[in-house]
């Protein structure tokens, strides 16, 4: 009977996690769409200011003036790590679960806005620019944040079922699993920071000459 109950609980947890993965991914994608549409909602003056900022960033990248070295690497690890730590803490509380989902949406908005800005200003050149600037680190950062979010939401749901619905068992093993997941995601975040600091600038130098013309979106 205990084996059957354990197997049933494990199957239920896996099913719940799959549902959470889908839900969290949808929220992130909706954030991307919202962020991309947000670019079109800017006034002409705001678009002009944004174009100037992007142009200066491209010039700095072309001149090799982007942050490099170990200090910048740890700055990026700390920046992305703060998101993870916040999600981890929110996962320990039931009331923090909606905030975890809000962070996923916000991350999607930031990615969508960044890509949308480049595309609106430089058309297909902006898409190419985003593929070597925005995409490489986020190919690691986004999955890490989503996996961490699923772990956080799952742990919060476990607390609800364990403490309020009297299901499952103690919180020891789920807490260890939750914390281990975040430790692994921190390693991935470190890899993303390495890509962002040491690899992306090299790729940007190849693409920046294509952006030498006046932005096409103006």
- In angstroms, the Cα distances linking 155 to 89, 136, 168 are 11, 30, 12
Confidence of residue 214 (pLDDT cuts 50, 70, 90): very low
Rounded percentage of the chain residues whose pLDDT exceeds 70:
79
Q: Are 171 and 69 in contact (CB under 8 A)?
A: no
pLDDT at 93: 85
Q: Does the pLDDT of residue 131 top 60, yes or no? A: yes
Q: Does the pLDDT of residue 212 top 90, yes or no? A: no
pLDDT at 185: 95
Q: What is the mean pLDDT of the chain?
A: 81
- In angstroms, the Cα distances linking 52 to 28, 98, 115, 159, 218 are 28, 36, 16, 49, 11
Q: Long-range contacts for 68-77 (Cβ within 8 Å, ≥24 apart)? A: 68/197, 68/198, 68/201, 69/197, 72/197, 73/193, 73/194, 73/197, 73/198, 74/193, 76/137, 76/192, 76/193, 76/196, 76/197, 77/189, 77/190, 77/193
Q: Does the pLDDT of residue 19 top 60, yes or no? A: yes
Task: Provide the residue ranges of all domains of the chain, joining segments of one domain with +.
Answer: 2-211
Is the model more confident about 105 or about 68?
105
Q: Does the pLDDT of residue 68 top 70, yes or no? A: no
Q: Does the pLDDT of residue 28 top 60, yes or no? A: yes
Q: Are 134 and 114 in contact (CB under 8 A)?
A: yes
* Stretch among 88-97, 111-120, 172-181, 204-213 having the lowest mean pLDDT: 204-213
Confidence of residue 25 (pLDDT cuts 50, 70, 90): very high
Q: Does the pLDDT of residue 169 top 80, yes or no? A: no
Give the mean model confidence (pLDDT) for residues 172-179: 86
Q: Does the pLDDT of residue 43 top 80, yes or no? A: no
> How many CB atoms are located within 10 Å of the residue 160 CB?
13
């Amino acid at each position: 009977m205990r084996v059957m109950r354990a197997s049933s609980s494990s199957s239920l947890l896996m099913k719940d996690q799959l549902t959470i993965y889908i839900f969290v991914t949808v929220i992130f994608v909706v954030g991307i769409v919202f962020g991309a549409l947000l670019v079109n909602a800017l006034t002409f003056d705001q678009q002009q200011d944004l174009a100037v900022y992007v142009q200066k960033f491209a010039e700095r990248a072309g001149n090799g003036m982007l942050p490099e070295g170990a200090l910048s690497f740890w700055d990026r690890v700390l920046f992305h790590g703060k998101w993870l730590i916040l999600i981890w803490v929110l996962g320990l509380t039931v009331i923090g679960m909606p905030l975890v989902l809000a962070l996923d949406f916000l991350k999607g908005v930031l990615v969508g806005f960044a890509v949308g800005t480049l595309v609106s200003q430089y058309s297909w050149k902006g898409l190419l620019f985003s593929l070597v600037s925005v995409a490489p680190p986020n190919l690691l950062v986004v999955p890490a944040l989503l996996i961490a979010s699923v772990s956080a939401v799952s742990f919060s749901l476990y607390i609800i079922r364990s403490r309020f619905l009297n299901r499952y068992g103690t919180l020891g093993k789920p807490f260890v699993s939750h914390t281990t997941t975040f430790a692994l995601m921190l390693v991935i975040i470190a890899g993303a920071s390495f890509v962002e600091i040491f690899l992306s600038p090299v790729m940007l130098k190849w693409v920046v000459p294509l952006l030498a013309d006046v932005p096409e979106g103006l």
